[in-house]
Amino acid sequence: MELLTPDLGLFVWTLLAFALVFFILGKFAWKPILSSLNEREKGIADSIATAQRVKSEMAAMQAENQKIMAEAREERTQMLKEAKELKDKIVNEAKDQAKNEASKIISDARVQIDHLKMAAMTEVKNEVAALALQVAEKVLRKNLSNDAEQSSFAKKLAEEVSLN
């Protein structure tokens, strides 16, 4: 049992050695160890805070990017809509202008055709009248070859003219 119960002298010397090591460690080693531990703890806390701040900034940037992308999509959609409307407007204006020009050309052509028709009709009437006069002149010259016939024909015409 001697092994289980230590001697009082050994106990005192062990206690004295422990107290001396405790005192030396407390005086020279624990303050630097504790300060380095505190610095390390502070550095870890700062790193965690920085990581949290960066994470929140990244979330804010991601949200802002999503917002910008949504605005860009909306703007693109609006621009495409405006471009389509402008295209439709230009096409409709071109169609209307083409219809107006076509109707103007058609009406001008009809007017010109009417003028040409009237001119042709007038020319045909003049030709027919000239031919009728030539035929009448030849007939009259043949029938009124003597003076007595001419006088009687002139009197007859004078009477008809005075009656009209």
Give me the half-sphere count of Cα atoms (radius 13 Å) on the Cβ side of residue 22.
6
pLDDT in tens, the chain (164 residues): 566 777 888 889 999 999 999 999 888 888 888 889 999 999 999 999 999 999 999 999 999 999 999 999 999 999 999 999 999 999 999 999 999 999 999 999 999 999 999 999 999 888 888 877 777 776 676 666 677 777 777 777 777 766 54
Domain ranges in the chain are 8-163
Token duo for residue 130: 């000239």
150 and 144 Cβ atoms separated by less than 8 Å: yes
**pLDDT for the residue numbered 142:** 62
- SS3 annotation, 22-40: HHHHHHHHHHHHHHHHHHH
Distance of alpha carbon 123 from its chain centroid, rounded?
Answer: 60
**pLDDT for the residue numbered 164:** 46
Token duo for residue 11: 């106990």
